[in-house]
Every structure is written in C-alpha cells, then in structure tokens.
Amino acid sequence: MEKVREILREGRRVAKEDPRRVVHSFKVGLVLALVSSFYYYQPLYDSFGVNAMWAVMTVVVVFEFSVGATLGKGLNRVAATLFAGALGIGAHHLASFSGTTGEPILLAIFVFIQAALSTFVRFFPRVKARYDYSLLIFILTFALISVSGFREEQVLMLTHKRISTVIIGGLSCVLISIFVCPVWAGQDLHFLIASNIEELSFFLLDFGDKYCETVEDSDTKEVDKRKKDFGNYNSVLNSKSNEESLANFAKWEPGHGRFRFRHPWKQYLAIGGLIRQCAYRIDALNSYLNAEIQVSIGIKKKLEEPLRRMSSELGKAMKEMSISLKKMIKPSSSDLHLQNAQSTCKALTNLLKSGILKEVDPLELISLLTAISLLIDIINLTQKILESLHELASASRFKNKIEPPKPNAKSIVCGRSTKCHDDHVVTIVQDDGYNDVTSKNDNRSNEVSSHEKHEDCVHEKHEDGDTHVHSSCDSYGQTSIRVVVGCIDIRIP
C-alpha cells in the first residue's frame, strides 16, 4: 500500500506541475486502443495478420509530447521504413540469382554491410542528433525484411503489409497529436525565451538594492540569508539543450495561432544564446553579494545612486522585453530604459575618473571595479538582446504597441482672468533622471500640481474657454506639453 500511495503522490505532483502530461498519457492510451483493433477486429487481422504488431510498435516509439516531435519522428520512421524496405527487397532479389546455396551467404553479407555503415554513420554528431532514431529503424527494417524474405516466397506482400501498418500507426499518432489537446513545441520555445528574460530581470531589478544594502551587525546573518536565495536565474544557464530540441521540433509543426509554418525559430536560438551569456555575467555578479571581501559602506554610499539606477533600468528594460515577447508586440519602452542605463553608466564612469576612489583598499577596489565592469557587460549584452528581439519582431510581424491616449493630470491656478502683456514660462527638462526647473515670472503666479508622461507619441489639443493644452512627442518618445491659460504659457518637455 505504501508503494501505491507513493505513486499517487508522484502522479498528483506531476499533474499539478503540468496538467498536459496527464492529457498526453490519455492520448497515448487512445492511440494504442485504436491500432490494437488490428488484432481485435477479425477482418483487419485477416488482412494484415501478425504484421499488425508494427502499428503498435510505431505508436510506442513515435508518439511524443509535442506535435513537432511526433511529426518529426513519424516522418523519419516512415522514410526509414520505405528506404530500408526497398533496399531489403533489392538485396533479396540480387541474392536470389545465386541460387539456394549462395543466397543466404549474400543476404548475410548485405545485412553486415548495411548494419556496419549505418552504425558508423551514427558516430557523426550531427547525424546522431537528427537521424539516430531513423538509422535504428533502418537497420531493424532492412534486417527483418531480408531475414524474413529468405523464408517467405511473397516478399513483396510481406513488405507491403509492414510498411502499411507503419504508415497507419504513424498517421494515427499525428492526427491525435494535432487534433486532441495539441502541445506545440514552438509555443513552448516562445514562452521559454520570454521566461528566461524575465528571470534575469528579477535579479537586475533587486541587485542594486542588495549590493548597496547597509545593515547593522546584528542583522548581517539575515541579509546574507536573503542574498543566498537570490539565484532563480540558474535555470537559464542550463536551458541550451531544451531550446535546441524545441526549435528542432518546431520546424516540423504546421502553422498554428500567430506562428506561421516558416516562423524564424533560429532567431529564438540566437536570442537564447545572448541570454545565457548575460546569465553567466549575472552569475559572476551574484558571487560578489556573498564574497568574503566586501566593499566598505562608505564607498557604497558614494556610488549607491548610480549603481541602483543602472541596475534598476536594466531590469526594467528586460522586463519590458519579456512582456513584449509574450504578447508578440514590438518592444518600445525598452529602448528608453536602456538609454537611461547607458547614460547612468557614463555618469558613473565620469565619477570614477574624478578620483573618488583614491584612498580605497586595493582588494576592495578590485572587487568594486569588477562588479561595475560586469554591469557594463550586461548593458552591452542587453543592447544585443534588444536588437535581436527587434529583428525577430520584424521577421515575425509583431504588432505595434497601441494604447489609448491618457489625459494629462494637471491643474493651473490663476488669480484672476484679466488681460496682460507679459508671459509666464515654466520649462522642465529631464536630463539623466534629474529635473532642472527654470522659471521666469513677471506679474503672474501659477502652480502646476501634476504632470503625467506619455509612453507613446500622441498629439492632442484640448480647448476649454481660454485654456489651451498642446502635447507633442519627439523621436525618443518624450512628451512635450504646452499649457496656455490666458496670458500664462507653460511648456513641459
């Protein structure tokens, strides 16, 4: 009973992690029940006989979890069977010319040659990765047809029955896989890449706070414990084989949803490779959170603001890339976050050149500069990931991000509505995250209560009495707002 309970617990766990696995098990049972009718239904058994077992064997070895894997294995299985069957018939025909004495010797020689060549070819890495299963089927089919054909007078009929049952079994697998709760490898690859980008964004969003965190001595153990749990990105480091297999299976799949038949799956592999390179830098960066040599709190305080902002902007850029990839829309705001990270990096470089670290301990200096260097590498890799994502969006025809225009939240208070000949202009300019406000006031006072930025380029005009609001957008997606109330002219870029 304990074994039964353990099996039930394991089944419940698997079903909770991915319910599609439970559905897949029922699909396999359904296909096996269908092809087993070759044995149970007498007319079918009279037509195929014991060769009906080939249909059952085909289902067992062909039916896979995803549609692409099933299609790939099914087509390879049929192709290998047809090719091996043709060669087996040819070998049997040639051996028959030597008479009853030489025929078994020649058949044995043919089987030896094809088995040796096929096995040797399997040692080539690319061939083994793609056609290992097909070569095994080829060896099995050729040998069985050659050996069986020596004792069978109607070798053509034997070959026809075996190939027919193989095709029927493979076709049953493909139809059930496509039309009954299909699992698409391409869709899994798409969301895997998006999920990997999101995992890196979680680390980068919190790294600045974790690295610059200052605590009392009594709380050091608690902070170290939180830092050790800061490694959810590890799944990205080992995702290469999974991505390659999913991309290989996705090539076999027909068009489904927004994924066309010739979808650029290779571009996903290129993005995945850049993501792993970025994950390796992040793994090295994570080691400095728990390193024995820690930078002093005073030095961290001096560089806290740019480090936090650079890490945060990188995390936001990757978060936006992950969202845009999941929704299959072109990334827009990621460019702005990446530009902010690059500008902060330049400001940090200038700060380091100013000689702020002259009296720092050499070991602490090495640790600090290495961490900063890794962050700069991550910025460069993020730029490459974004460029590759733009290429994928263009090749896959991702939609543009469309959002309804949002009204600007602002209130302007003017003392009285009278005419005047002087203007009041307030200009707010954002430069590297810091706002400079310049005000020129002659005879009027005003108050701007709030200002809301637009992410997209929206041009709108509102008129209400003497109040006029104009908004525009430059090429970088920054909104400029001009408000005119009577004699007051306010520009907010």
CA angle (367 as vertex; 366, 373 as ends), nearest 5: 85
Question: What are the CA-CA distances from residue 415 to residues 400, 439, 486 (Å)?
Answer: 44, 18, 11
Q: How far apart are CA 246 and CA 240, in angstroms?
A: 10
Higher-confidence position of 250 and 470: 250
> What letters, b where the CB count within 10 A reaches 16 and e where it falls short, cover 153-166?
eebeebbebbbbbb
Predicted pLDDT of residue 487 = 40
Supply the mean pLDDT for the chain. Answer: 75
Per-residue pLDDT at 381 exceeds 90? yes
Residue 461 bridge partners (DSSP): 470
Q: Within its chain, how far is the Cα of 21 from the centroid?
A: 21
* Residues 171, 81 contacting (CB under 8 angstroms): no
Give me the sheet containing 434-440, strands edge to edge.
434-440, 425-431, 488-492, 479-485, 467-473, 460-464
At 84, the pLDDT band (50, 70, 90 cuts) reads confident
Per-residue pLDDT at 77 exceeds 50? yes
At 332, the pLDDT band (50, 70, 90 cuts) reads confident
At 196, the pLDDT band (50, 70, 90 cuts) reads very high
Domains and CATH numbers, the chain: 2-179 (no CATH), 185-396 (1.20.58.220), 425-492 (no CATH)
Q: Within its chain, how far is the Cα of 464 from the centroid?
A: 49
Nearest to 391 by CA among 351, 349, 331: 331
Tokens of 91: 């070998």
Q: Within its chain, how far is the Cα of 385 from the centroid?
A: 12
Least confident span in 270-274, 324-328, 425-429: 425-429
Tokens of 355: 């000689």
Q: Tell me the DSSP string of 42-96.
A: HHHHHHHGGGGHHHHHHHHHH--SSHHHHHHHHHHHHHHHHHHHHHHHHHHHHHH
Predicted pLDDT of residue 185 = 93
Predicted pLDDT of residue 218 = 40
Predicted pLDDT of residue 408 = 52
Q: Within its chain, how far is the Cα of 144 from the centroid?
A: 44
Predicted pLDDT of residue 384 = 95
Percent of the chain topping pLDDT 90: 29
Phi, psi for residue 436 in degrees, rounded to 5: -115, 125
Q: Tell me the DSSP string of 356-409.
A: TTTTS-HHHHHHHHHHHHHHHHHHHHHHHHHHHHHHHHHHHTPBPP--PPPPP-
Question: What are the CA-CA distances from residue 100 to residues 91, 106, 151, 229 (Å)?
Answer: 14, 11, 11, 75
Higher-confidence position of 138 and 9: 9
Per-residue pLDDT at 70 exceeds 60? yes
User: At what angle are helices 240-250 and 67-96 packed, to 10 degrees?
Assistant: 70
Per-residue pLDDT at 135 exceeds 80? no
Higher-confidence position of 161 and 411: 161
Does the model's pTM come out above 0.75? no
Nearest to 325 by CA among 191, 201, 186, 183: 191
Q: How far apart are CA 376 and CA 366, in angstroms?
A: 15
Q: Which of 40-44, 113-117, 252-256, 325-329 has the highest average model confidence (pLDDT)?
A: 325-329
Higher-confidence position of 176 and 455: 176
Higher-confidence position of 405 and 364: 364
Per-residue pLDDT at 271 exceeds 50? yes
Q: How far apart are CA 304 and CA 209, in angstroms?
A: 9
Instruction: Give SS3 for 115.
Output: helix
The mean pLDDT of 333-348, rounded to a whole number, is 92
Q: Which of 105-119, 128-142, 200-214 has the highest average model confidence (pLDDT)?
A: 200-214
Of the chain, the end-to-end C-alpha distance in Å amounts to 73
Least confident span in 56-70, 200-214, 366-380, 434-448: 434-448
User: At what angle are helices 362-396 and 265-287 packed, to 10 degrees?
Assistant: 160
